[in-house]
Chain A
């Protein structure tokens, strides 16, 4: 009983600090939007904002998958290649069968990506290969398979039926359909992560694997599951990506994993595991989307993007660590002895 008040107090500070963190990102978003808007007024128009949302759609779906993997303390570098491979398969399928419905293609993307992701998951969970080594290998393996099945050729816009491209171009209530896909993904995962047993187990595994195992959580299954989910979301994002850019290439999204990690770290996901929220990741993705959209608007050469993303990852990771340490300190201070 003695623990009760201390515990609730700790939870209060915890949620307050998390809230503080998300508020911080929102202030940051508003600040850079205003600054860029001063340099180029076209930035602050509704159509540009809509463009940013469409451009960020695939990224925000991918970041949820990456977040789950990061929360368990792993990392999934293979996401960009799963995206490319699924996108290529989807592109080749609609090229040969233009009558396939877009909804079917999206579900197919989920399933195929899930299959590819669960192979990676098996290697990490059952084969006990360090995540970075396993996913780095799978990144090149899936990229190579994309090259093999396509024979080095592209699928171009004119080879795709309008219904497929409609996933990105058609609008419903003034918003692109891509945005609704993102909404569904976020609602589902918000519920999954916060209100289901399996979702909470992911955090348990990420916070302390040994403790999770001792209380009876099947840690191998959870580890496999997060890679399978990140694969499935990469597959979904692959179909969205190909529909959006109306082309499937061998080097689709090459190097995009940096953007995904940047969005996650910016959204407050800890690289060492155990910490990360769905809402934070959404804000992180939007921030990265805004920065990427704004660079050409303020006449910064696109060659800067790569270095800038690396810098964002580094700075955000250090900020996360500083925040976590401050939080620990304040918890220790408030502890009733």
Chain B
């Protein structure tokens, strides 16, 4: 009874309501932004403002999987920093830039693999504590390697990654890569048996294990993917900034988790989808764009993002708590 209820509710809420709500909010904020700035409603304006935000999008895609299985990864921002620093250092040591980019990818995937290994290998060691320690270790290593210095002076073609356009069109290169990744993740999560297993793990890990889902192996893959996406984010972020420092990407973990949760992903697992998350990414960017137009400082933006995150998780709980109490009374 309870299960059927929650299933039909989920279908109703997620497929018919949540994505539409996000779409309506996006249109609403776009209208406000259009009022605030006459330059908002232009193709290049929208494309460019989205493109500078997309490095977070890469992390959101894989964070969605992590949250759906009911875990959390707060080390992603530190993995970005370490990948970026290692990439910059290997370039400074004389490696070609293309190889340095591979170093960033390998670092990201390696850190993610390490997280996954510890979480799946030591039973009782939760993702919270591993990634909390990881967030200190990875950024700490970046600090040990680089101290308070910065490395810049990358080859000129490298800045094309974040700032360039595809061919002669005016489609940003990052956009193409991101849409490609989003489609891959969407297909993986919604159109494969593997994706169904991800949801199964989030809804009921014990039942999933007894129906033959290889929990440890799945966690290993998902956390490695999350690290890899942080590595990709590091490449584009460093390209955007033009230099690498150990303190880049501070606070990204909050925003990435906030975007995923805003997109309908439940932090307790089992709920959410890629479409909602992509809409939430656009929504968050437009929100930031609008706040930038009215000169809201970065620190205040973090306050607003925090309130949005808590609010989105809390409000449905408060509204459904009455129903929950009634249901337990009926059972009694």
**Interface set of A (CB-CB < 8 Å, partner B):** 75, 123, 126-130, 132-134, 136-141, 143-145, 147-148, 250, 255, 258, 261, 265, 271-272, 301, 303-311, 313-314, 317-318, 321, 324-325
Which of B72, B126, B136, B253 is in CB contact (< 8 Å) with A258? Answer: B136
Q: Is B213 an interface residue (CB 8 A)?
A: no
Distance, CA A318 to CA B123, complexed state (A) = 10
CB distance from B245 to the nearest CB of A (A): 13
Q: Is B143's CB under 8 angstroms from A144's CB?
A: no
Bitwise, B237-254 to A at CB < 8 A (1) or not (0) is 000000000000001011
Provide a sorted-by-A list of 12 A–B residue pairs whose CB atoms are within 8 angstroms: A123-B310, A127-B310, A133-B310, A134-B310, A140-B305, A301-B147, A303-B147, A306-B136, A307-B140, A314-B130, A314-B134, A325-B124
Q: Contacts A129-B314, A140-B303: A307 and B124 contacting too (C-beta < 8 A)?
A: no
Interface segment among B11-19, B102-110, B278-286, B294-302: the answer is B294-302
Residue of A126, A141, A310 ringed by the most chain B CB atoms within 10 A:
A310
Residues from chain A with Cβ under 8 Å of B36 in the complex: none
Q: Is B143's CB under 8 angstroms from A133's CB?
A: no
Q: Is B318 an interface residue (CB 8 A)?
A: yes
Residues from chain A with Cβ under 8 Å of B56 in the complex: none
Q: Is B226 an interface residue (CB 8 A)?
A: no
Distance, CA A317 to CA B137, complexed state (A) = 15
Q: Is A317's CB under 8 angstroms from B310's CB?
A: no
Which of B118, B132, B133, B251 is in CB contact (< 8 Å) with A311? Answer: B133
Distance, CA A132 to CA B126, complexed state (A) = 12
CB distance from A244 to the nearest CB of B (A): 23
Which of A145, A272, A325 is in CB contact (< 8 Å) with B126? Answer: A272
Residues from chain A with Cβ under 8 Å of B309 in the complex: 133, 136-137
Residues from chain A with Cβ under 8 Å of B258 in the complex: 137
Q: Is A301's CB under 8 angstroms from B136's CB?
A: no
Residues from chain A with Cβ under 8 Å of B143 in the complex: 303, 306-307
Q: Is A309's CB under 8 angstroms from B310's CB?
A: no
Task: Please count how many residues in chain B sit with their CB below 8 Å of the partner chain's CB atoms.
Answer: 47
Q: Is A144's CB under 8 angstroms from B137's CB?
A: no
CB distance from B55 to the nearest CB of A (A): 19
Q: Is A144's CB under 8 angstroms from B302's CB?
A: yes
Q: Is A307's CB under 8 angstroms from B136's CB?
A: yes
Q: Is A147's CB under 8 angstroms from B313's CB?
A: no
Q: Is B136's CB under 8 angstroms from A133's CB?
A: no
Q: Is A143's CB under 8 angstroms from B302's CB?
A: yes
Q: Is B321 an interface residue (CB 8 A)?
A: yes
Given A137-B254, A137-B309, A258-B135, 5 other A-B residues pairs in contact with their CB atoms under 8 A: A75-B128, A123-B310, A138-B306, A140-B306, A306-B137
Q: Contacts A271-B129, A307-B136: A321 and B300 contacting too (C-beta < 8 A)?
A: no
Distance, CA A308 to CA B141, complexed state (A) = 9
Residues from chain A with Cβ under 8 Å of B207 in the complex: none
Q: Is B253's CB under 8 angstroms from A130's CB?
A: no
Q: Is A310's CB under 8 angstroms from B128's CB?
A: no
Residues from chain A with Cβ under 8 Å of B299 in the complex: 143-144, 147-148, 250
Q: Is B307 an interface residue (CB 8 A)?
A: yes
Q: Is A129's CB under 8 angstroms from B124's CB?
A: no
Distance, CA A129 to CA B135, complexed state (A) = 22
Which of B129, B134, B253 is in CB contact (< 8 Å) with A136? Answer: B253
CB distance from A209 to the nearest CB of B (A): 14
Which of A144, A272, A317, A318 is in CB contact (< 8 Å) with B300? Answer: A144
Q: Is A309's CB under 8 angstroms from B317's CB?
A: no
Residues from chain B with Cβ under 8 Å of A127 in the complex: 310, 313-314, 317-318
CB distance from A35 to the nearest CB of B (A): 21
Bitwise, B289-332 to A at CB < 8 A (1) or not (0) is 00000000101101101110110011001100100000000000
Residue of A128, A143, A272 ringed by the most chain B CB atoms within 10 A:
A128
Closest B-chain residue to A304, C-beta based?
A: B144
Distance, CA A211 to CA B175, complexed state (A) = 51
Distance, CA A140 to CA B141, complexed state (A) = 24
Distance, CA A144 to CA B313, complexed state (A) = 20
CB distance from B227 to the nearest CB of A (A): 16
Q: Is B313's CB under 8 angstroms from A314's CB?
A: no
Residues from chain A with Cβ under 8 Å of B267 in the complex: 129-130, 132-133
Q: Is A310's CB under 8 angstroms from B257's CB?
A: no
Q: Is B257's CB under 8 angstroms from A128's CB?
A: no
CB distance from A18 to the nearest CB of B (A): 18
Which of B72, B125, B318 is in CB contact (< 8 Å) with A317? Answer: B125
Q: Is B254's CB under 8 angstroms from A140's CB?
A: yes
Residues from chain A with Cβ under 8 Å of B135 in the complex: 258, 310
Q: Is B132's CB under 8 angstroms from A140's CB?
A: no
Q: Contacts A129-B314, A310-B140: A317 and B129 contacting too (C-beta < 8 A)?
A: yes
CB distance from A214 to the nearest CB of B (A): 12
Bitwise, B263-279 to A at CB < 8 A (1) or not (0) is 00001100000000000
CB distance from A84 to the nearest CB of B (A): 12
